[in-house]
């Protein structure tokens, strides 16, 4: 952007030419009469990982805040920023707005390619990369190359980098700094980990939480009721160190409880009222977090993703981390499925293996043993589904909705299916002939 290239490649329009053809006269104030800091700048659709995408309102105030995002990674005017996410998503908009604000350069690619990613970085002297969701896992899946560490990247900024691959990604590609953040397009706050604490997505000390105009907190969550816990005075309570809870942020009065374009009832679902005192209101991010004794916070799971089995709570994220710690599993998408005659939901994992790997009897036994050693019995996946490719959104976030709907019925699923057999002490194939006996077995 603004690099003085002049002639743009085929299929692109030169930003420089647009700037040269822009009017030199000051734009009339009447063009923006009636606009203020709460006027919508644009609408960004949510990812739709747990339901239909919704248009989040990005007002002028939020847009100005977004334009400072990459400064957390030390962005300067001579930096070159590489993003591969679509420009209609908030992640790319964050980078775009900051690049425009700083006067630096942004490098775009029409389609993400794990094999060409660092080749692009070397060719175009990229200094800042932006990641999201499972992007880093895809980069790690590419066979190692002698030039993996040959680049000019000084910082990687993004969200969704799992703890199990954080150090692998940093060490293999020699990334000097990783800045992980947490937020939502429609949210009223964001957190940032600029200290390099592995796995953390921010810090929430008493001072930092007070610096937010309306406060931020992690509150106790009642998973049986699927709602925030309230005491005898109908007040919410902050969590203890290490205790998972719901992340919330105060709603400034000027928001008027309006986060999405559409019916107010859609917005009202995101509001928690009378949380700590009468009349207060907080935005419900729908994410479970926990905090360590240094006040660093860590993502645990989406509220809608956590499920109960045999009377216990199961975190899909924790189970996925255990499964992907096995060197032949590239990714694991964990979710809960209903089982006739049983309360709650049983765990199921859609697996995507590394290149040239097969789910042999030996591998199935290894998964059984590894799960038994590292997970309590109620958290071990009851079903496995082998997929050739992980289902993700355009921003590399795991998509679970269709997987949950399809369940584990071999009559409608063509992918190989397996179930946990306590008798055989391994995972065994699940097909039409074994489906009925499986349901009658000891699950």
The torsion angle over the Cα atoms of residues 256, 261, 263 and 268, rounded to 10 degrees, is -40
In the listed set 300, 332, 353, which residue is the last one of a domain according to the structure? 300
pLDDT at 155: 98
Task: Give the residue numbers spanning the domain of 108.
Answer: 36-300
Are both 423 and 287 inside the same structural domain? Answer: no
Can you state the angle between helices 163-172 and 316-324, rounded to 10 degrees? Answer: 40
- Alpha-carbon 404 to chain mean position: 19
In the listed set 300, 321, 353, which residue is the last one of a domain according to the structure? 300
Are both 371 and 389 inside the same structural domain? Answer: yes
Query: Are 357 and 320 contacting, i.e. CB atoms less than 8 angstroms apart?
Result: no
Are both 239 and 260 inside the same structural domain? Answer: yes
pLDDT at 50: 56
Judge whether 374 lies within some domain: yes
Judge whether 7 lies within some domain: no
Judge whether 60 lies within some domain: yes
Are both 277 and 394 inside the same structural domain? Answer: no
**Angle 247-248-251 (CA atoms, 0-180°, nearest 5)?**
165
| Residue from 86, 146, 138, 83 nearest 115 by CA | 138
Judge whether 9 lies within some domain: no
Are both 336 and 426 inside the same structural domain? Answer: yes
CA distance linking residue 427 with residue 370, whole number of Å = 12
Are both 277 and 162 inside the same structural domain? Answer: yes
Q: Domains in the chain: how many in total? A: 2
Are both 326 and 287 inside the same structural domain? Answer: no
Judge whether 293 lies within some domain: yes
| Residue from 317, 330, 435 nearest 388 by CA | 330
Judge whether 67 lies within some domain: yes
C-alpha dist (Å) from residue 214 to 38, 211, 285 = 17, 8, 15
CA distance linking residue 235 with residue 278, whole number of Å = 9
64 Cβ partners below 8 Å, 6+ apart? 37
Are both 259 and 317 inside the same structural domain? Answer: no
β-pairing, 55-59 vs 40-45, is: antiparallel
Which two structure tokens, joined as six digits, stand for 26? 């000051």
User: Maximum CA pair distance of the chain?
Assistant: 80
| Residue from 89, 53, 111, 25 nearest 97 by CA | 89
**Angle 407-315-303 (CA atoms, 0-180°, nearest 5)?**
85
Are both 232 and 356 inside the same structural domain? Answer: no
Q: What CATH number should be reported for the domain holding residue 189?
A: 3.40.50.12780
pLDDT at 3: 46
Are both 315 and 291 inside the same structural domain? Answer: no
Q: What CATH number should be reported for the domain holding residue 390?
A: 3.30.300.30
In the listed set 285, 300, 315, which residue is the last one of a domain according to the structure? 300
Judge whether 269 lies within some domain: yes
Judge whether 29 lies within some domain: no
**Angle 406-411-414 (CA atoms, 0-180°, nearest 5)?**
75
- How high is the mean pLDDT in each 10-residue block of the chain (443 residues)? 58 77 85 87 77 84 91 95 88 89 91 94 97 88 94 96 93 98 91 95 88 88 88 97 96 84 88 95 95 96 84 88 94 92 90 93 97 95 93 76 90 94 94 83 69
C-alpha dist (Å) from residue 19 to 1, 14, 22, 108, 130 = 10, 9, 5, 19, 26
Are both 110 and 250 inside the same structural domain? Answer: yes
Are both 182 and 281 inside the same structural domain? Answer: yes
CA distance linking residue 400 with residue 115, whole number of Å = 26
């Amino acid at each position: 952007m603004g690099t003085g290239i002049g002639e743009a490649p085929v299929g692109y329009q030169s930003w420089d030419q647009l700037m040269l053809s822009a009017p030199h006269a000051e734009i009339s104030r009447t063009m923006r009469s009636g606009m203020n800091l709460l006027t919508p700048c644009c609408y960004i659709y949510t990812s739709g990982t747990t339901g239909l995408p919704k248009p989040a309102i990005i007002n002028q105030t939020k847009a100005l805040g977004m334009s400072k995002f990459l400064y957390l990674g030390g962005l300067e005017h001579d930096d070159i920023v590489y993003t591969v996410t679509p420009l209609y998503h908030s992640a790319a908009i964050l980078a775009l707005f900051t690049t425009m604000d700083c006067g630096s350069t942004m490098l775009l690619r029409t389609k993400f390619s794990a094999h060409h990613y660092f080749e692009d970085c070397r060719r175009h002297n990229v200094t800042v990369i932006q990641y999201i969701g499972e992007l880093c896992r895809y980069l790690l899946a590419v066979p190692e190359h002698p030039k993996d560490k040959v680049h000019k990247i000084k910082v990687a900024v993004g969200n969704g980098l799992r703890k199990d691959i954080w150090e692998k990604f940093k060490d293999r590609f020699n990334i000097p700094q990783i800045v992980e953040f947490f937020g939502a397009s429609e949210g009223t706050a964001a957190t940032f980990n600029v200290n390099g604490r592995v796995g953390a997505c921010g810090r929430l000390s008493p001072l930092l939480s007070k610096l937010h105009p309306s406060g931020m907190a992690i509150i106790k969550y009642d998973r049986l009721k699927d709602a925030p816990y309230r005491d005898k005075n109908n007040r919410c309570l902050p969590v203890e160190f290490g205790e998972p809870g719901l992340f919330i942020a105060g709603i400034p009065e000027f928001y008027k409880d309006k986060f999405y374009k559409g019916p107010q009832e859609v917005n009202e679902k995101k509001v928690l009222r009378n949380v700590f005192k009468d009349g207060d209101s907080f935005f419900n991010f729908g994410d479970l977090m926990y905090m360590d004794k240094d006040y660093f916070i860590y993502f645990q799971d989406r509220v809608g993703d956590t499920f109960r089995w045999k009377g216990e709570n199961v975190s899909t994220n924790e189970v996925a981390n255990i499964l992907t710690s096995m060197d032949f599993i590239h990714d694991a998408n964990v979710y809960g499925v209903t089982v006739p005659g049983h309360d709650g939901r049983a765990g199921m994992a859609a697996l995507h293996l590394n290149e040239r790997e097969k789910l042999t009897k030996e591998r199935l036994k290894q998964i059984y043993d590894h799960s038994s050693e590292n997970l309590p019995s109620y958290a071990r996946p009851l079903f496995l589904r082998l997929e050739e490719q992980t289902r993700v959104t355009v921003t590399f976030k795991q998509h679970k909705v269709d997987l949950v709907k399809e369940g584990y019925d071999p009559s409608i699923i063509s992918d190989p299916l397996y179930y946990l057999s306590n008798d055989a002490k391994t995972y065994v194939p699940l097909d039409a002939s074994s489906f009925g006996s499986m349901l009658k077995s000891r699950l």
